[in-house]
Structure 1
């Protein structure tokens, strides 16, 4: 009985996914998974002190969602961490440095925005008191 219900639900989900092109399903699943992972990571990091939790969240964000262009016949946007890992495995230094520089750029931009936001909110709090 339970197995039949699970099978029916699974076939319904698969029929819904057949309406979308294959590339869009991959992007939808990736974006949804990244959002869920970042939300869970945020819930964990909110228990840490402000700068440490924010910095670790920015690093996780950069690792999960920094985009790069993959090569090959099915080239599309892919996370830069996969390009970095592929470069390490194949020992392609250009691939390693290009993907690592993208990730570090997103981390640096996030840290800069976080610093400006913390100064703004501290200044806003000081003026209201």
Structure 2
């Protein structure tokens, strides 16, 4: 590696040291979730609208529903990780708390989607 390239790499790594680890982790997870949702949306466009929207909503809820992790380094984490950890450790309260959060997001999304479809239907009726 050339000296000027090593200097640029060292400068980049030293600037990343100033950013807290939690911010880097949340940013990486958020960007990865957005990429996954975009790919899922591209796949679901070929299906009927209702099924595609509901499946996109379920994937959104699984990937992005937040919960608080436990332990000395507790922070915000996706509820699916808590759900999987609860299943692996057979901890029923952990399973139900994380599953209820995910199902709440799915239910809220379904209600919002229903209201949006009624609004867009009424809007198109008025314009005709």
Q: Output the TM-score relative to the length of structure 1.
A: 0.88
Q: Aligned with 1:78: secondary structure?
A: strand
Distance 2:71 2:114 in 1: 39
Please name the residue that 2:116 is paired with. Answer: 117
Cα deviation, 1:69-126, whole Å, max 9, x if unaligned, reads 0001111000000000000000000000000000000000000000110111111111
Q: Distance in 2 between matches of 1:93 and 1:46?
A: 37
Give the aligned CA root-mean-square deviation in angstroms: 2.0
What is residue 35 of structure 1 aligned with on the other side? 34
Q: TM-score, normalised by structure 2?
A: 0.88
Tell whether 2:70 aligns with 1:71.
yes
Gaps of 5+ in 1: none
Check if 1:57 corresponds to 2:56. yes
Where in structure 2 are there 5+ consecutive unaligned residues? Answer: none
